Chains A and B, each alone.
Chain A
Amino acid sequence: MCPLTVEQSVSIALNNFSVAFGDTRALDDVSMRIMPGKVHGLVGQNGSGKSTLIKVLAGYHVPEPGAVIDVGVRPVTFPLSGSSFQGYGMSFVHQDLGLIPQLSVLENFLIRELSSKSQRWINWSREKERVNLTFERFQLRHVDLMAKVGSLSLAQQAMLAIVRALEGVTTDPGEGELRGGLLVLDEPTAYLPEDDKEHLFKLMRDVVATGRSVLFVSHYLEEVLQITSHVTVLRDGRVVGDLPSRDLTTDGLVELIIGRTLQSGAVSTAPSSSKKMGLQVENLRGGFVNGVDLHILEGEIVGITGLLGSGFEDVPNLIFGSKRAEQGVARVGDTEYELGSMHPARAIDAGIVLIPADRQHQGLSLSLSVLENVTLQLLSQHRNKFGLSRSKMLRTTERLMEDFDVRPRDPLRKVSELSGGNQQKVLMAKWLASDPRVVLLDEPTRGVDVGSRQDILMKIRAAAIRDGISVLCASSEPDQLVELCDRVLVMGGGRVVSELARSELTKDRIVERCYSAAASNVV
């Protein structure tokens, strides 16, 4: 477990990585070299191939023949098996950290051993001592080994996951022959407050000081330039830039990421005053949202976006009351609602509906029929003098299935028996048929095939134009925002940082604003 010296270490080379999913090439002949004792940055838009690359290293995807990983010690052959990356000195901290919140710090630390070694007894006091030593070595203080991980702050959890990954590398069975070692950090800072980022960076510097390398994946370009010595930029599955960090600026990096020159000047148009206000939200706070004001006219579709951790994904849930806001006021028509005490039933009464991203757990009850799901919000319209009228509900369902082109047209079919796109149409039908005044969309086309995606976006537009519904669409897909929205709000650090009007909406501009919004919040 002695510290490795830089002289012993070797660089890690990845050569000719190609991965295709159907017709799309997620990775196209990607090669990069990570120097020992350095932090190497990996940046690119969503869908540029970053996560595919990491998944190849972790053995999740198998690259096309010809791919080579050279860790300098032993030849690596594909396909990599589930946990073989450990044997090559690689360790990973994925975005979700991979911790189990209900278990203690100590138990989380030992998970890997509990699952891999055929060890029959656990000497808890010895393990405790060992983990304590590790914590000391990485200067992770004030963490109670017996505390439940769920009770720790996000920052502490991130640190814990990173230290666990580091320990995995250093104590691996093949330690004797192992000299380098690569720690892959996938967006570790998205949810970290400023102070803890410093601690994380210190930790990363300590790691590279022992001769290991760190592959640092992040959207936060300021941070990337601050901590890395070299950056690889991916676009559409190809390497488009591979430069020393000191030669780069954030603007230059954004240009590489989106592939064209930046246009300067933040232009924002005033809302046209001819239309009536549909939804007005003031001083919304809660979750990652830290003081958001927004307004949507009747018939207007406003997008809201940002990088991971910017808070945009919380906005619909906070307005709808499915996530409790700390503070804020919403105005629909002439009525004012305190968002601190909002809940879904009240929001629906106010004419606000939320179409959630997680269709399978939040949107539809899969084991029930299309008819039952689609009529849930319309039950009161389907009464006769004996109670609910099945024939009326059947007629409504048939009409809605026709309207939204749900296939097959079988009202009694269980929703679980439909394809993802058709499920999403059922979800749209359920809520748009309930005659809302405000529709909050959370990633409206996630996991939906391209054809259904078009239908869904068209339906939303039609509903806005025809019925004057105000739509707020939270999305991380710039393409979708361009297609759908009249206006896009870009968030960074929990606030709306900039706004793009219809005339200036392009995919590249949205991406660029997302990065600059994030940068403007890095102190």
Chain B
Amino acid sequence: MHVNGDPLVMDRGPVRPKSRTSSFVKVAERIGVPVALLIVIVIFGFLEPSTFLTTGNLTTILASQAVLVVLTLGLIIPLRAGDYDLSIAGTLTLSAMMIGVLNAHLGMPIWLAIVCALAMGVSVGFINGFLSLFFRIDPFIVTLGMGTLLLGIVLLISGDQTFSGVSTGLVNVVIIDRFLGVPLEFYYVLMIAAVIHYVFEYTTVGKRLLFVGTGREVARLSGIRVGKLRIGALVSSGFLGALAGIIYAGTSGSADPSSGASFLLPAFAAAYLGATTIMPGRFNPWGAVVAAYFLITGVTGLAILGINTWVQDVFYGGALIIAVVMSQLVRRRQQQDIA
């Protein structure tokens, strides 16, 4: 149709894909954080082989910190839809405290306490979603308020006390029982990540969620029920926040009114760092798992080296900033590819 030398033909671009970024850079991007995790393990193992490389320590890292990983996995669902859930640490704390108060203090059967805590998480997610959608408020603000409100309720129902003596039934299935020497909660993490991966990649809901997060108007004009999906994502994060709280209570065998809130920032750091790896450029569950373990390993290793506790905050805060900077660099690099 076009003769040679037609200027139009040049505009149409080559048929063969041509990428300016070498495949090496792309692969390096994908496996960056997993490699960093290995490097961190090797360094600490070299510096402190007698403490860091013990099964006890590795078990601690894999299992006892599972709470943070579950929380991160909860967070990436609304993030995938383009929304923040800042109330998720409040949900975690309230959920753990409900186990403490209902089971340890009031003697409610543990299964019923768990059901109540999960129902609370789902309700919080639904209220977050309803307020955001019905009144058209940014979930960022709604969940910011909700998070603090939930922490207030924790203080109210606990009287600012710590409750110990959570049912051994829960403690056993969380941290005592082991498979291949690792407490079961580590496997819960893997199961949750696998389910989220399946939903994100192999279901229509997951694909639609991606469009809601990357182009809301595109999603709406493609007939996607944007509001329902956003509420669904916040309900999911509420549910996983509550589940993280149950695991938290099971791990420590008790519930305290304050420590849960400190999980929020590390969870965001892990979610954003996770979005730069495995599937760079989007929030993905396996990236989140690897990133969370990278952060936990770093903090644990530094603690073993005898560095003060302030380092934890510096490390987590710094990681969040670096993660966001990195994701910006990835985006800019991809834009340069076009130009």
Mark A residues whose CB is within 8 Å of B. 320, 322, 344-345, 347-349, 354, 356, 361-368, 372, 375-377, 379-380, 386-388, 390, 405, 407-410, 413-414, 416-419, 421-422, 449-452
Interchain CA distance A392-B214 in the complex, whole Å:
23
**25 interchain pairs (CB within 8 A)?**
A320-B221, A345-B225, A361-B215, A362-B217, A363-B218, A365-B210, A367-B215, A368-B214, A372-B207, A376-B207, A377-B222, A387-B198, A387-B203, A388-B202, A388-B203, A388-B204, A405-B12, A407-B13, A407-B15, A408-B17, A414-B334, A417-B334, A418-B13, A421-B12, A449-B8
Give CA–CA (A425, B227) in the complex, Å.
Answer: 29
Whether A344 and B223, one on each chain, are in contact in the complex, defined by CB atoms closer than 8 angstroms, is: yes
As a 0/1 sequence over residues 8 to 42 of chain B, the CB contacts with chain A under 8 angstroms (1 = contact) are 11011111111000000000000000000000000
Known: A372-B210, A380-B204, A408-B17. A451 touches B11 (CB 8 A): yes
- The reply to whether A451 and B8 contact each other, CB–CB distance below 8 Å, is yes
B13: A residues at CB distance < 8 A: 407-408, 418-419, 422
Tell me whether A364 and B17 are in contact in the complex, defined as CB-CB below 8 angstroms, given that A345-B224, A372-B210, A421-B12 are known contacts.
Answer: no
Rounded to whole angstroms, the CA-CA distance of A365 and B220 in the bound complex is 12
Contact B12 A344 (CB under 8 A): no
A367–B281 touching, CB < 8 Å: yes
Complex CA gap A387/B204 in Å reads 9
**Measured CA separation A3–B121 after assembly (Å):** 70
- Closest B residue by C-beta to A359: B218
B218, closest chain A residue (CB): A365
Kindly identify, within residues 40 to 98 of chain B, every residue whose CB is under 8 Å from any CB belonging to chain A.
none
Alpha-carbon separation in the docked complex, A205 to B221 (Å): 45
B-side residues, CB < 8 A to A, are: 2, 6, 8-9, 11-18, 198, 201-204, 207-208, 210-211, 214-215, 217-225, 281, 334-335, 337-338
Check A413 against B17 for contact (C-beta < 8 Å). yes
* Chain A residue with Cβ nearest B198: A387
Bound CA span A390–B197, Å: 14
Say whether, besides A388-B207, A416-B335, A417-B334, A347 and B215 are in contact (CB < 8 Å): no
Partner of B15, one of A348, A388, A409: A409
CB-CB < 8 A to B204: which residues of A? Answer: 379-380, 388
Q: Bound state CA distance, A451 and B221, in angstroms?
A: 27
**Apart from A365-B219, A376-B208, A379-B208, what are 8 other A-B pairs with CB-CB below 8 Å?**
A361-B217, A377-B223, A408-B13, A416-B335, A416-B338, A421-B11, A449-B8, A451-B12
**Roughly how many angstroms separate A362 CA and B9 CA in the complex, as a whole number?**
28
Considering the chains assembled together, what is the distance between the CA atoms of A405 and B215 in angstroms?
25
Measured between beta carbons, the chain A residues less than 8 angstroms from B198 are: 387
A451 adjacent to B222 (CB under 8 Å): no
B221 touches A322 (CB 8 A): yes
**B202 proximity list for chain A (CB < 8 A):** 386-388
- Interface residues of B, dominant DSSP: helix
Q: Which residues of B contact A320 (CB under 8 A)?
A: 221
Shortest B59–chain A CB gap in Å is 33
Q: How far is the CB of A5 from chain B (nearest CB, A)?
A: 53
Contact of A408 among B6, B9, B16, B203 (CB under 8 A): B16
By the criterion CB–CB under 8 Å, are B337 and A347 in contact?
no
Cβ 8 A contact of B223, one of A345, A367, A422: A345
Separation of A379 and B16 alpha carbons in the complex (Å): 27
In angstroms, Cα B105 to Cα A370, docked, is 56
By the criterion CB–CB under 8 Å, are A356 and B221 in contact?
yes
B215 x A365 contact (CB < 8 A) = yes
A389 → chain B closest CB, angstroms = 8
CA distance A6 to B220 in the complex (A): 56
Cα-based distance from A2 to B221 in the complex (angstroms): 54
Which residues of A have CB within 8 Å of B15? 407-409
Given contacts A367-B281, A417-B334, contact A376 B222 (CB under 8 A): yes
| A362-B221 in contact (CB<8A) | yes
Q: How far is the CB of A87 from chain B (nearest CB, A)?
A: 36
In the complex, chain B residues whose CB is within 8 Å of the CB of A413: 17
**Minimal beta-carbon separation of B148 from chain A (angstroms):** 28
- A451–B16 Cα gap in the complex (Å)? 18
B53 to chain A, nearest CB (A): 39
Q: Is the Cβ of B221 less than 8 Å from the Cβ of A450?
A: no
Q: How far apart are B206's CB and chain A's nearest CB, in angstroms?
A: 8
CB distance from B270 to the nearest CB of A (A): 22
B224 (CB) vs chain A CBs: closest residue: A345
Q: Is there contact, CB below 8 Å, between B215 and A364?
A: yes
Q: For residue A362, which residues in chain B have a CB less than 8 angstroms away from its CB?
A: 217-218, 221
Cβ-defined contact, B8 with A407, below 8 A = no
Whether A419 contacts B11 by the Cβ 8 Å rule is yes
Q: How far is the CA of A405 from the CA of B214 in the complex (A)?
A: 25
Inter-chain contact A354/B334, CB cutoff 8 Å: no
Q: Which of A344, A366, A386, A450 contacts B220 (CB 8 A)?
A: A344
Contact A409 B17 (CB under 8 A): yes
Give the one of A320, A365, A416, A422 with max B CB within 10 A: A365
Q: Do the beta carbons of B17 and A344 come within 8 Å of each other?
A: no
Q: Contacts A408-B14, A409-B16, A419-B13 hold; do A354 and B338 have CB atoms under 8 A apart? A: no
Assess A376 versus B8: contact at CB under 8 Å? Given A365-B218, A409-B17, A451-B2: no
- Chain B nearest CB, measured from A72 CB (Å): 44
* Most chain B CB atoms below 10 A, which of A320, A356, A375, A417: A417
3 closest Cβ contacts across the A-B interface? A387-B202, A451-B8, A410-B17
Q: How far is the CB of A393 from chain B (nearest CB, A)?
A: 10
Do B8 and A365 touch (CB < 8 A)? no
- The answer for the CA separation of A505 and B218 in the assembled complex, in Å, is 34
A414 CA to B336 CA in the complex, in Å?
Answer: 13
Evaluate contact between A368 and B221: CB separation under 8 angstroms: no
Given the contacts A347-B223, A364-B218, A376-B207, A417 and B338 also touching, CB distance less than 8 Å: yes
- B219: chain A residues at CB < 8 Å are 365
Contacts of A368 in B (CB 8 A): 210-211, 214-215
Across the two chains, which residue of chain A brings its CB closest to B2? Answer: A451
State in angstroms the CA–CA spacing of A388 and B203 once bound together: 6
Once the chains bind, are B16 and A388 in contact (CB under 8 Å)?
no
Contacts of B12 in A (CB 8 A): 405, 407, 419, 421-422, 449, 451-452
